[in-house]
């Protein structure tokens, strides 16, 4: 059994897609917002992107209630992919650094499958973003810059899940997340944050020797320096569009 597993509800539900292939509801659960869209088999959006605010406190119960209300506004779908900001193993949340502690040990895949009556697969949010950005060749590192720092590594398109670089030591006895997360940005401002990020990129390149580095997440738009030729900023939407990869 791999770390990305599905939970299938026993509820019998009709196919939503007709001759378009299966439709996948892609969800990205974040510390500030919950985003969702329905995708066709080619990972193209076939409905509107929806975003609702993450309720506070962001307990599983509150988030699932908000999610349910938001999802009901979408067209019919056949299956569900979810990105969550923590370690996910076999559909279960193992860590949730920037979410409510009640998430730890929560079987998100089964709970959501029971709620929506569809098969559900859950993975780490940065892993999904990496799968969305991947060109399928060489060694690719994805770093997401947001409230937390997410990371994913793929070799020839194959993901090694739950890298969790954000919590590794980076500089001055602090982790990448402590040095580069949104709280640090708000504290030290754009100039120092960008300097730190440049140093982090140099460190990561020497460590991983990747072919390509992708930078995503809400804070990526704060980057104000010229990136090395093997690095690029990827659109945030890939955090949703990558969801289809959980079904391949």
Q: Which two tokens stand for residue 20?
A: 């378009």
Does position 159 bind ligand BGC by CB under 6 A? Answer: no
Residue 238 binds to ligand BGC (criterion: CB under 6 A): no
Does position 144 interact with ligand BGC (CB under 6 A)? The reply is yes
End-to-end CA distance of the chain: 15
Neighbours of 152 (CB within 10 A): 31
- The pattern of x and - marking residues 184 through 203 that bind ligand BGC according to CB under 6 A reads --------------------
85 binds ligand BGC (CB under 6 A): yes
Pick between residue 86 and residue 119 the one whose CB is nearest to ligand BGC.
86
In the bound state with ligand BGC, the residue whose beta carbon lies nearer, of 89 and 212, is 89
Q: d(Cα 178, Cα 174) in Å, to the nearest integer?
A: 6
> Measured from the CB of residue 28, what is the shortest distance to ligand BGC in angstroms?
9
Q: Which stretch binds ligand BGC (CB under 6 A): 58-66, 119-127, 135-143, 200-208?
A: 119-127
243 binds ligand BGC, rule: CB under 6 A: no
* Interface with ligand BGC, residue 166, by CB under 6 A: yes
Decide: is 234 part of the binding site for ligand BGC (CB under 6 A). no
Asked whether the beta carbons of 124 and 86 are under 8 A apart, the reply is yes
Please pick, from the candidates 132, 177, 210, 212, the single residue that binds ligand BGC as defined by CB under 6 A.
177
Selection from 159, 156, 151, 152 nearest residue 135 by Cα: 156
Asked if 146 is part of the footprint of ligand BGC (rule: CB under 6 A), the reply reads: yes
- Output the six-digit token pair for 180: 């580069």
Please tell me the number of Cα atoms within 13 Å of 168 on its side-chain side.
11
Name, in order, each residue with C-beta under 8 angstroms of 21's C-beta and a sequence gap of 6 or more. Answer: 40, 41, 42
CB of 11 to ligand BGC, least distance (A): 30
The yes or no reply on residue 125 touching ligand BGC (CB under 6 A) is yes
Total residues in contact with ligand BGC, by rule CB under 6 A? 18
Residues facing 230 on adjacent strands: none
Please tell me whether residue 103 adopts helix, strand or coil conformation.
helix
Structure tokens of 100?
Answer: 């409510």
Burial class, 171, CB count within 10 angstroms (exposed 0-12 / middle 13-18 / buried 19+): middle
Q: Provide, rounded to whole angstroms, the least separation between the CB of residue 17 and ligand BGC.
A: 30
Binding ligand BGC (rule: CB under 6 A), the pick from 5, 36, 54, 98 is 98
Contact 238, 132 (CB under 8 A): yes
Interface residues toward ligand BGC, by CB under 6 A: 85-87, 95, 97-98, 124-126, 144, 146, 148-150, 164, 166-167, 177
């Amino acid at each position: 059994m791999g770390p990305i597993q599905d939970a299938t509800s026993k509820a019998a539900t009709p196919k939503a897609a007709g001759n378009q292939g299966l439709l996948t509801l892609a969800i990205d659960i974040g510390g500030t917002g919950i985003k969702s869209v329905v995708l066709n088999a080619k990972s193209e959006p076939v409905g509107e992107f929806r975003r609702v605010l993450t309720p506070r406190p962001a307990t599983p119960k509150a988030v699932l209630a908000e999610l349910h209300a938001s999802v009901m506004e979408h067209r019919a779908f056949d299956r569900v992919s979810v990105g969550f900001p923590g370690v996910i193993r076999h559909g279960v949340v193992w860590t949730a650094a920037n979410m409510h502690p009640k998430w730890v040990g929560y079987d998100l895949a089964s709970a959501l499958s029971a709620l929506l009556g569809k098969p559900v697969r859950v993975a780490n949010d940065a892993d999904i973003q990496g799968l969305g950005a991947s060109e399928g060749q060489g060694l690719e590192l994805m770093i997401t810059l947001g409230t937390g720092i997410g990371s994913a590594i793929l070799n020839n398109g194959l993901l090694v899940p739950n890298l969790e670089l954000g919590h590794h030591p980076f500089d001055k006895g602090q982790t990448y997340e402590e040095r580069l997360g949104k709280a640090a940005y708000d504290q030290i401002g754009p100039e120092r944050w960008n300097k730190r990020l440049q140093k982090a990129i140099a460190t990561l390149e020497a460590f991983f020797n990747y072919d390509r580095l992708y930078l995503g997440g809400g804070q990526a738009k704060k980057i104000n320096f010229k990136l090395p030729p093997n690095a690029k900023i990827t659109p945030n939407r890939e955090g949703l569009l990558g969801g289809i990869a959980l079904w391949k």
